[in-house]
A = this chain, B = another copy of it.
């Protein structure tokens, strides 16, 4: 794959050398994909305005936070046919560190018979938003030392949902984290349904045999009999395993006094970690995707805080987990991804999670159960 030529749009030297750069891929399935690099010191992350304001990867020094999907390069949405592969065509473009599943629906494909309109009942895997290019892209470099990028993604149609995402993704100069601030607004005159899930994906090198998830939770439920097989070991990860079949655990996260919850992935030795902090009220459902298959097939785990679990939409609706967004109303989401490059920082996050968990222990369901899992 060609090198992308970046052009610096903003830069500075204090308190660290920083820059905002933009580039565009020119070849193959990536042709036309625009990328924005936000860099401060030795930390950086890349945003894809063309792919619904998804985050391609982050980097701290030489270490990349992200994963190696079999989809090797960024894919322009014009090449993603959501209807292909029996409604699973979304997978043909899936390789980001973070992409959104939504806005009108996420989860598996199918006909959502509950919808009055056939405009809204034709569901494809994980929805449309990740394959809608953003407009009104703006670069942010303010006097408070915050740098980043914002953009607007319209998921609207006639006689259907009118959901507009305004996403602002920024970092503080000198930090090793970035924060996504999303506002999803119903522009229509009637209420409309909203599902949003942040599919946040980590592979090597942090993910490795013995790597571990820590998250404060009250419930852990396997989504399927296959996932139930290893539910007691949900926190720990296998080495890349040829023939491994994915496992998913649904969780009820716990939050601190400010309503914040945080999930940590740490390396086996605990000397490196990455955390995802989110607000429980905004994203009450946490799904852990274990996909420790062979490296070349996509060795990855997903941390997926969402408004819902990624079951078929009609099941989620029946459980009361589909948001009915009122006309003109906005749903806010804020989440922060941070890198913790040493034992001390990893321990600090782990301690923070332990405090949130407190004396309670998560209830681990041995089998898929209602109202979490649709597969029994």
Contact = CB atoms under 8 A, between A and B. Distances in A.
Nearest to A118: B86
A269 interface: no
B72 A154 contact: yes
Contacts of A107: none
A81 B79 contact: no
How many copies the complex holds: the figure is 3
A297 interface: yes
B189 A293 contact: yes
Interface stretch (A4-12, A25-33, A333-341, A348-356): A25-33
A35 to B, nearest CB: 14
A162 B133 CA distance: 26
Nearest to A30: B135
Nearest to A77: B79
A329 interface: no
Given A70-B157, A88-B118, A119-B85, A297 B162 contact: yes
Contacts of A86: 118-119, 121-122
B81 A78 contact: no
A19 to B, nearest CB: 22
A137 B29 CA distance: 13
Most buried by B among A71, A73, A135, A243: A135
Nearest to A128: B84
Given A133-B31, A187-B296, A158 B119 contact: no
A82 B84 contact: yes
A284 interface: no
Interface string A102-145: 00000000000000001111101000000011111100000000
B83 A157 contact: no
A156 B124 contact: no
Nearest to A328: B296
Contact of A91 (B88, B158, B327): B158
A73 B154 contact: yes
A27 B72 contact: no
A118 B85 contact: yes
A294 interface: yes
A14 interface: no
A32 B77 CA distance: 13
B91 A124 contact: no
Given A88-B119, A91-B157, A91-B158, 15 more contacts: A27-B133, A27-B136, A28-B154, A69-B158, A70-B162, A71-B154, A72-B154, A77-B79, A81-B83, A82-B84, A85-B118, A158-B298, A162-B297, A188-B296, A189-B294
Interface of A: 1-2, 27-32, 69-73, 76-79, 81-88, 91-92, 94, 118-122, 124, 132-137, 152-154, 156-160, 162, 187-190, 242-243, 293-298, 327
Instruction: Please provide the 10 A-B residue pairs with the shortest distance between their CB atoms, ordered closest to farther.
Output: A28-B135, A189-B294, A78-B78, A86-B118, A27-B135, A86-B122, A91-B158, A70-B156, A70-B162, A85-B119
